[in-house]
Amino acid sequence: MTTYKNIKGIEIKYLSADPPAPNAGQVWYNSTTKVVKGAINGVGAWASGNNLNGTNNQKRAGAGIQSSAIVMGGVGTGDDSNVDTELYNGSAWTEVNSLNDGRGLAAGAGTVNTAALLTAGRTASQARYDSTEIWDGSCWTEVNNLNTARYYAAGDGTSTAAILAGGNAAPAVTDETEIWDGTCWSEVNNLNSAREQTDALMGTTAAAIIATGQLGGLGALTANSEKWDGTCWTEVANVNTARILVAGAGISTSAIIFGGNPALAITESWNGTSWTEVADLAVGRKNTTGSGTATLGLAAGGGTNPTAVATEEWTLTAFTTKTFDTD
């Protein structure tokens, strides 16, 4: 035990029973069972949820948490102007009132399915949108526009404090970032690398992370990640697999990204420092809709088929107790 302290810099606690809620990395000696135990990172897995109702289910914007999610808009075969909105209550999807402006390739924000924001996107004629709509749990209302019209941008936050970055803006891919304060959009400091075709922006206006995508000027797929501190973007550790058309869930210090072109099942977890590949989706998919947290996430629609309706729920146990071998 002295050696362990010298190596790790912490003491092993002497306990008569396992602690009820240990933190990952905590180690103790159980005097009753006479073994050394520790809490290691939990194991995550995807499980099937109930299907969406709509048919235009590629690149629908999403928001909320696993038990209270919303998807809106979307792309179907020859149709970039889906107006559908659906709400998830943790067990089933329900169709509700439609958007004012049908669109796909848009970005969403919101922490529950009763208050959300939708912005950017592409019209049926493939024109870029700058319009923004707010969902109040019943209806959509048009509010002030973005400063730069774009599609394939990434967004997150809440209906009163959202962040949007990157995207395809005339005449090329942009590095521009905008912040929504509940009334207006304001341009703030740019990304270090212009990118589009990622929905993996997770966090708030004060702290966020963006990952993957395609670089500007028809550039290569990127594994690059950048972290937002409320003022500037800073490059951080890359993901393991560069790709586009990825979705994500979580915050700046704890997130997951999943899927990607061409219908990948890859899931990666972010711990605030590095990305780790974890359990794959059951169904590989691109252009899926992501929402939730790194512990309880949601993937809806997407795939190679615009009419795909499958939903998957991600669950990560906080920790697993392990007995260390003394041999």
What is the Cα–Cα distance from 242 to 213, expressed in whole angstroms? Answer: 8
For CA atoms 244, 184, 157, 110, give the dihedral sign: negative
Confidence (pLDDT) at 26: 76
Same domain, 71 and 37: no
Same domain, 23 and 111: no
321 part of a folded domain: no
Q: Which of 288, 248, 253 is nearest to 267 (CA)?
A: 248
How does 31-47 read in b/e, with b if 16+ C-beta sit within 10 Å? eeeeebbbbebeebebe
Confidence (pLDDT) at 90: 96
Q: What is the CATH number of the domain that holds 310?
A: 2.120.10.80
267 part of a folded domain: yes
What is the Cα–Cα distance from 165 to 194, expressed in whole angstroms? Answer: 9
The domain containing residue 225 runs over which residues? 44-316
List strand residue ranges (DSSP E) for 89-170, in order: 93-96, 107-112, 115-119, 132-135, 140-143, 154-157, 162-165, 168-169
What is the Cα–Cα distance from 274 to 276, expressed in whole angstroms? Answer: 7
Per-residue pLDDT tens listing for the chain (327 residues)? 445 445 444 578 888 888 876 666 678 888 888 888 776 667 899 999 999 998 888 889 999 999 999 999 998 766 667 899 999 999 999 999 999 999 999 999 999 999 999 999 998 777 899 999 999 999 999 999 999 999 999 999 999 999 999 999 988 899 999 999 999 999 999 999 999 999 999 999 999 999 999 997 667 899 999 999 999 999 999 999 999 999 999 999 999 999 999 999 999 999 999 999 999 999 999 999 999 999 999 999 998 887 889 999 999 986 667 677 654
Confidence (pLDDT) at 4: 47
What is the Cα–Cα distance from 110 to 156, expressed in whole angstroms? Answer: 7
Question: 3-state DSSP call for residue 158?
Answer: coil
Same domain, 29 and 53: no
325 part of a folded domain: no
Same domain, 114 and 253: yes
Same domain, 169 and 225: yes
